[in-house]
Homo-oligomer: A and B are copies of this chain.
Amino acid sequence: MFSHIENGKVRMVDVSEKDVVLRIARAEGFIKLKKETIEAIKKGEVEKGNVIATAVIAGTLAVKKTSELIPMCHPIPITSVKFDYEFEEDGIKMTCEVKAFAKTGVEMEALTGVSVALLTVWDMVKSMEKDERGNYPETAIKNVRVVEKVKVPDF
């Protein structure tokens, strides 16, 4: 195991010669929550404050930190970040769309944004999701995935 490629080697892909084009990626993810929690978020009754705004802001900041969090990602000059959300019966679905003129795609940025936004939702409603032992029997982040990724060469 781990014999073919030398194990100490980890490398950033060299994108020096790739073209700078408009890159767009959209990722989504879902957080499973209790019905009461969803109601409280909708009614603006969560003690810690505005859940969705906090999640969107945390996610936007995380998009800009992607190359600091994911070791082999390249720094990318983001030109747009847009979040959407949808209340479903048993949780919230969030979507994050990222744009940049760059030499490489922005799917890791969109995935990082949506992941941190969902983690922030969790943090904001911790007291409502916990059981009496302080555990979270039902809460879970699910199905974080890339919905679409495009390159717009003729922009």
Q: Which residues of A contact B (CB under 8 A)?
A: 1-5, 7-16, 22, 29, 42-58, 60-62, 64-65, 67-83, 85, 99-101, 103, 105, 107-108, 111-112, 115-116, 119-120, 122-124, 126, 133-136, 139-146, 148-149, 151
Contacts and interface: CB of A to CB of B under 8 A. Distances in A.
**Nearest 8 pairs of A and B residues by beta carbon:** A8-B52, A10-B49, A2-B44, A14-B80, A141-B144, A140-B145, A53-B53, A16-B79
B2 A50 contact: yes
A86 B127 CA distance: 29
A123 B99 contact: no
A153 to B, nearest CB: 12
| Copies assembled | 6
A141 B29 contact: yes
A150 to B, nearest CB: 8
Given A7-B50, A8-B55, A141-B145, 19 more contacts: A1-B42, A2-B43, A7-B53, A8-B85, A9-B52, A13-B80, A14-B79, A14-B99, A16-B100, A49-B53, A57-B57, A70-B116, A72-B124, A75-B75, A107-B126, A111-B141, A134-B151, A135-B149, A141-B143
A135 B146 contact: yes
B111 A122 contact: yes
A50 to B, nearest CB: 5
B119 A43 contact: no
Given A44-B2, A136-B107, A16 B149 contact: no
